[in-house]
Structure 1
Amino acid sequence: MSNLNLLPNPRIGSANPSASLSALWGYIQPALDHILRSPVDDLSKAPAVDVNYHIGIHTALYNYFTNHASPIPVPHLSIGAPRPPPESIPAATPLGCDVYDRLDAYLADAAREVLLDAPTDDSTLLHYLVPRFTRYSSGAQSINRLLNYVNRQYVRRAADEDRGWLRICDIVSEVIESEAECRQGGAFSQRKIAEKMRERRAAELRRWGAPDGATMEQLARAEARAEAASALDRVVPILSLAYRRFRTEVLEPLLVVPKAKAKGKKKGLTEDEKAAVRPKGRLARAVKELLESRGGDAGERDKLASEMADMLTCTGIRPDHPLRRRLRKYSVPVT
């Protein structure tokens, strides 16, 4: 099936796709299904939607965000009445949160399908998983472009409001280093927080592959990996959101280590020997079988190992994970 088959703009008659979340999602979802779930000849290229449909989705999102903006409600006060404390005033739901949450659930379902269709035979797991991830990734990149308005209007604002992948709460213990420092407060504390945030961000980007003196592109790729590794409550760009869901719904279940049956402790073993006899998750067993196999094409084996290493990296599997370490020599550096 050719990737040149465009999905046309659906006929909606007099319906207004920005009237409600359900109407908006009903208008957008066919495009997402086409981009992420349609069969393709080239797994690295997602099928496209008609330019009028693309414009229609952008317009519908713009109108929805504009028409459903809800200011923070302020209770009516009589003249001379005391003002209620700030904590008693309900906060408005962040604009775009509902669209973002619906998209997150959609991506989680799409990723879960990959796991549900996975073969039960470990020897074929990697040959199944890599092409499925390639297809998922190409679709996610296309959706990220299609819904970039959400990135600009919601994700960026969330980061400015300390709801992104790195938050002030992550560095509080580093800021409050002593009781005396805590007492100084004021502008000093603000400067200290900003300084610690810069230091933590730089450290995290180095951890995710950005070398010293990294280019802007290298920093962006390292940050995307850190975003994919973040917790589910952190707001991240749509592409990183998709990769994070592939991690949580596909890779982490496959990395779960089964509980060992109690057969008595093995005495006299070194730590490496103990690690060798410990039970492993399905993905670890499949990688072990791939790397220790003697038959077949060595070049193809190395290529599959490299693609696995890239998958683990860009979906946010931590750098110190045993499987990441085992595949490290196959990893492609951030460029």
Structure 2
Amino acid sequence: MNSSRRTQLIALAVVALLGFGLPLFATINIQVIATSALFYAYLGTCWNVTGSYGGRLSLGHAIFLGAGAYTSTLLFINQGISPWIGMFLGVVVGAACGALVGWLASRYRLEGIFFAMVTLALTLLAAQLVSNIGTLGGAQGLLVPLSPDGAADYQFADPAALLRIIAVMTMGVLIFTWWLRGRRWGKWIAAVGANDRAAEASGLSPTLVSSVGMAIGGGLTALGGTFYAQQNLFVDPASLLHWSVSLAILLPVIVGGRSRAEGPLVGALLLIPLEELIRQNADPGYAGLLRGFLLIAVVIFMPGGVLDVVDRVRARLRGKTEHSSPEEVDAHAADRA
């Protein structure tokens, strides 16, 4: 078994343990923290589809999150459609928003910081629009009605149920990301993200590939929006469409490592529990300070993220082992025994 496959299995095992093992002995508070960590691991992995592999530094994924949350909530309130069904319609809306953003990026050759600024501006615009539309609840937001059917309408009194759901979602998006990277469309998305002019010269359509890539990321993120709505039973522009939401999605990716599908999971498991502990035991404003300090520290000392550091240490240790004499290897083995 190669190291990549081993890492993938470890990542899935960790998520499964958190989702299905933790509720057997952990307190409700710990389960809620684990749910939040896996939620941001899920969103970060969705961002990675085009943010890392597609080379698009998006600060607009809050739009896709809000699209999923508002679509399923409005369908439930106005049509009585269960969020289990509404979430898939939310995926369609999120994918459409993603395709539009991808088309804009390719049509106007938006790259790097320019793409980031445009997606940030679109997020601010979306927040203002939703805040002024009465049918969407305006700035006050919408309450998700309590359902007597409970689980049939994606509502649970037991927090362990939500933890299991987000664990399954996280495992699913990880498996999908690994699968996509090895397929033709995944390679096309990476090629266009690396150099759209070279990709076009080789026969690809940057507009189509960019639109499809952002549609995939947008649709998957929208699925997380429905989870957010059903977890909190409330949606509003301040909590879903604020620019800080996009930053919260991006930060675990940066901490864990953008180059690896497992990066957002590692980053979220390191960052989110620490933030939650600070919020619960100190001034919540310190959580924002923590984000700022971590972002600076990672950019300066670990630009490739935690996993990049782990890989370099592992490679260095492997190199030392390969250059050790047989006597040294025997001595190390005896010491470990």
Q: Return the TM-score normalized by structure 1.
A: 0.28
Structure with greater proportional helix content: 2
